[in-house]
Structure 1
Amino acid sequence: MPFSAFAFAFARAGAAAALALASCAASAAPAQPATVRIDYLHSGNALSEHYAMERVVIEPLPWPGDMSRSVDDTDRGINKVEVVDAKTGQLLYSRGFSTIFGEWRSTDEAGKANRGFSESVRFPKPDKPVRVRILKRDERNQFSIAWSVDVDTDALDVVRKQEPAPAKPTPLRVSGPSPQKVDLLILGDGYTKADLPKFEQTARRLADYLFTVSPFKERAGDFNVWGLAVPTQESGVSRPSTNVHHASALGTRYDIFGSERYVLTTDNRALRDIAQHAPYEFIEILVNNDTYGGGGIYGQFSTAAANSDWANYLFVHEFGHHFAGLADEYYTSPVAYATGGERSEPWEPNVTALRDPANVKWKKFVKTGTALPTAWPKAEYEEHSRAYQKVRAELRKANRPESEMSKLFKDDLAWTNALFSKAPHKHEVGAFEGANYEATGYYRSQQQCLMFDRSESFCAVCADAISATIDLYSRPAK
């Protein structure tokens, strides 16, 4: 069916018909397998970690992914899931990911206490018993097995029937059948029943903005976007540092690990039980708040304060973490967890320890003759940042109106743009020291990037990493 005819048919159909169209491949293709989800507990502390099976679930919708791209070749994430034939060891499916536990275990709390976090992995239902392996990246950047479990997806204790969907997904953008597209699910949290039109409007606006930013702009036709929100009794999500507490189905909140701007949910099971009612490979949660904040975990989900003056930036920046495993390139803002003292080579594609300048990981973008490391006005930038961060902390401590914080961010970006406008190597790809939350020992590829400050464009290296992820999940229509 030509795309124009598909779009017309979709426009005449309801959400149920859109789900059917997007969840199935073209009529000539074999039917998609069911979606299997394993929920498990990941626990431990700074020195040790443990895994325990909770349950195996057959989700309500077919597998949304391309069966011809079942093996992940991007080499990203702290962890990787592998599904192998239990008898032959043949690799059937793999994906890299990171976890909230992985971040938590670098906090001060993890040095004094144990905690457990619910996690999930999803894969297309096999027709035979399999072994599911969770791998972990070591200090050599190599994966080794951390846990494995044998799974028969036809066993008697597999969950095959669940409660009806608590809310219906809304198709926001449908470009074609799910197996040929990247499926992005935008979830709302902190939206009352009366707020639902506001959620849909905001989700559409932010999705539209995402596709104005390269390389998403050029690849917009490779995406489907869905919206879904389970209504809450009160508007907004919890912000414990200001004694604001709200109940919600997802449990999203500010102040994760003590960072006032870090927004996540630690209720993974609730998240997956809601998300399973829409086709998805990636999730962004919009919180119905205006306080600046967000978060992103590679292969898990991202979050953004939907009503912030900086919602556009937050939506795209945090999605960059979740979607492509991009590291933060800034280093003057305080963070809730530590990166460690030794400057080992990061797995993230956009930062480096530059141990071998002649073979820097983004070598293909570096022009001959470019010095590595590459000079930039680092001292001047850091002097300004120290003063800026002091004001920022004072505004939060005094719980000043969000408009004052927003103005501070705007002024800071204007100052940074002015500094870089006259800096050498303004648009060049090189190795600029200061990245990954560290002032020394880590380098980013360009002076400015959406992952470095609140500017509006990704650097060439980040754009390339995003494109590689799109390629993993989408397939051009024939």
Structure 2
Amino acid sequence: MTTFLKAAMASALAACSFAAAASANPPATVRVDYLHSGNALAEQYAIDRVVIEPLPWAGNLSRNIDDTDRGVNKVEVVDAKTGDVLYTRGFSTIFGEWRTTDEAQKVTRGFQESVRFPKPDRPVRVRILKRDERNQFSIVWSVDVDTDAQDVVRKQDPAPAKPIPIRVNGAPGDKVDLLILGDGYTKADMPKFEQSARKLADYLFSVSPFKERAKDFNVWGIAVPTQESGVSRPSTGQYHASALGTRYDIFGSERYVLTLDNRALREIAQHAPYEFIEILVNNDTYGGGGIYGQFSTAAANSDWANYLFVHEFGHHFAGLADEYYTSPVAYASGGADRPEPWEPNATALKDPSKLKWKHLVTPGTALPTPWPKATYEEHSRAYQKTRAALRKDNRPESEMSALFKEDLAYTNKLFSTAPNKDAVGAFEGANYEATGYYRPAQQCLMFDRSEKFCAVCKEAVNQTIDLYSRPAK
């Protein structure tokens, strides 16, 4: 642990009251870096290296087994001799998204990935599982790992930037640990990064249920200085070198912002306690992204930064699906046979009597649930046409922001008089599909740029908080 981080944590935690046992001698953090390659038809895995990270494990050791059943993939760490399961977590991957694009039909690509877990006291087998056609997990790759072997990386370069304590409410093992990383910030931009990180963290904890669970979180910030402000946006000829390599135009979508450099991400993030990461890019242009169990991103200087931060974090943190369906995406259609999504807030509704959020449905609500779908879609087609034209002509961001405000105002007005405007039901149109998939509520932060999560999304967020935090005694 760096001297700075030790001092910062000691200072912040001195003001907190928590049981000494909760923070006593947590194990080291193990990271297994591996390569995930393939195309639309096949995929392969290969181990890269095993790393002992600089900081001890930040997770809740009493919840080593993930019971939320989310993610396309799952990691299992099992005793190599007995097969006893020691640790599990669900997650999704950038490779998993990429292989549904048109490019994956033609090209084979490789992606860096990592899994992290508390250091075991014995050799283990690390297994990667994937959902099959029955929506059940099956093993697709495994590797034996001895974390005490000679080739394990135990010593690394010092932290490239000082972690900033933004909110510290207790020991890392007792709290959800969120790390906000900055990309595209020069040395002179560092005060701007800290201001944005604090502002957006404050906004996150003004939105329910994060608002009610704010004391269950710790938040840190790190930004490695760049030579130029901003990250790359290739569609407009803007290229900038940055520590994380975050950029716009992922998979050809002008608003999709990710980093494909997992090694760089993990080597910076490992210098602060974390389970979840949100990357702030020092750009004005609307954009962001989120991968369950990996990280999320948001354009910190956008007029819609608050929404972007929370919406994308919803993907990364709780595995929430996008509920919108009129905005173009790069993924191939699911076809006529819609599989049941694993995400907690989307369904194919093949049997309404077994709806996964049945316990939250408003009594007397019809399934499927009527809503002004045709009227909404007519407006949305015109709105998307205007949006595409603004981006094609590279119009000022203020014009795009104004269009977003007009669109939200129209939607709010349309929904305000709809008969099921406050109901939880099954509203057709979700998961990028106009038909065949359903969302829980007419309007939610995962559907449009409104400010509230629906009841189903709130429940999913709370379940994740419970998985990673430990209630105060």
TM-score bucket of the superposed structures, by smaller chain: over 0.9
Amino acid corresponding to residue 458 of structure 2 in structure 1: A
Structure 2 match to 1:290? 284
Amino acid corresponding to residue 472 of structure 1 in structure 2: L
Are residue 234 (structure 1) and residue 242 (structure 2) matched?
no
Amino acid corresponding to residue 303 of structure 1 in structure 2: T
Structure 2 match to 1:19? 9
Structure 2 match to 1:370? 365
Offset of 1:271 from its aligned partner?
Answer: 0.2
TM-score by length of 1: 0.96
Structure 1 match to 2:108? 114
Amino acid corresponding to residue 347 of structure 2 in structure 1: T
- On the 8 A contact 1:253/1:265 being kept in 2, the answer is yes
Are residue 52 (structure 1) and residue 46 (structure 2) matched?
yes
SS at match of 1:351: coil
Structure 2 match to 1:71? 65
CA distance in 1: counterparts of 2:198 and 2:391, whole angstroms: 30
Structure 1 match to 2:463? 468
- On the 8 A contact 2:278/2:297 being kept in 1, the answer is yes
The count of aligned residue pairs is 466
CA RMSD after TM alignment: 1.4
Name the % identity: 81
**What are the Cα deviations for residues 375-394 of structure 1, in whole angstroms up to 9, with x where unaligned?**
00000000000000000000
**What are the Cα deviations for residues 69-108 of structure 1, in whole angstroms up to 9, with x where unaligned?**
0000000000000000000010000000000000000111
Offset of 1:362 from its aligned partner?
Answer: 0.3
CA distance in 1: counterparts of 2:52 and 2:143, whole angstroms: 17
Structure 2 match to 1:7? none
Offset of 1:369 from its aligned partner?
Answer: 2.3
Offset of 1:22 from its aligned partner?
Answer: 6.1
**What are the Cα deviations for residues 341-398 of structure 1, in whole angstroms up to 9, with x where unaligned?**
1301000000000001011000001133211000000000000000000000000000
Structure 2 match to 1:166? 160
- On the 8 A contact 1:252/1:264 being kept in 2, the answer is yes
CA distance in 2: counterparts of 1:58 and 1:334, whole angstroms: 41
**What are the Cα deviations for residues 259-317 of structure 1, in whole angstroms up to 9, with x where unaligned?**
00000000001000000000000000000000000000000000000000000000000
Gaps of 5+ in 1: 1-12
Offset of 1:181 from its aligned partner?
Answer: 0.2
Offset of 1:17 from its aligned partner?
Answer: 2.3
Structure 1 match to 2:393? 398
**What are the Cα deviations for residues 128-168 of structure 1, in whole angstroms up to 9, with x where unaligned?**
00000000011111000000000000000000000011001
Structure 2 match to 1:354? 349
Gaps of 5+ in 2: none
Q: Of the candidates 437, 446, 449, which is equivalent to residue 454 of structure 1? A: 449
Structure 2 match to 1:268? 262
Are residue 220 (structure 1) and residue 214 (structure 2) matched?
yes
**What are the Cα deviations for residues 12-58 of structure 1, in whole angstroms up to 9, with x where unaligned?**
x9753233576998433441000000000000000000000000000
- On the 8 A contact 2:79/2:86 being kept in 1, the answer is yes
Amino acid corresponding to residue 175 of structure 1 in structure 2: N
- On the 8 A contact 2:4/2:162 being kept in 1, the answer is no
The 3 A distance-change label for structure 1 pair 14 and 50 is closer
Amino acid corresponding to residue 18 of structure 1 in structure 2: A
CA distance in 2: counterparts of 1:460 and 1:15, whole angstroms: 38
Amino acid corresponding to residue 75 of structure 1 in structure 2: D
- Greater Cα offset, 219-228 or 15-24: 15-24
Structure 2 match to 1:414? 409
The 3 A distance-change label for structure 1 pair 320 and 404 is same
CA distance in 1: counterparts of 2:256 and 2:100, whole angstroms: 15
- On the 8 A contact 1:173/1:225 being kept in 2, the answer is yes
Are residue 428 (structure 1) and residue 423 (structure 2) matched?
yes
Are residue 314 (structure 1) and residue 274 (structure 2) matched?
no
Are residue 252 (structure 1) and residue 246 (structure 2) matched?
yes
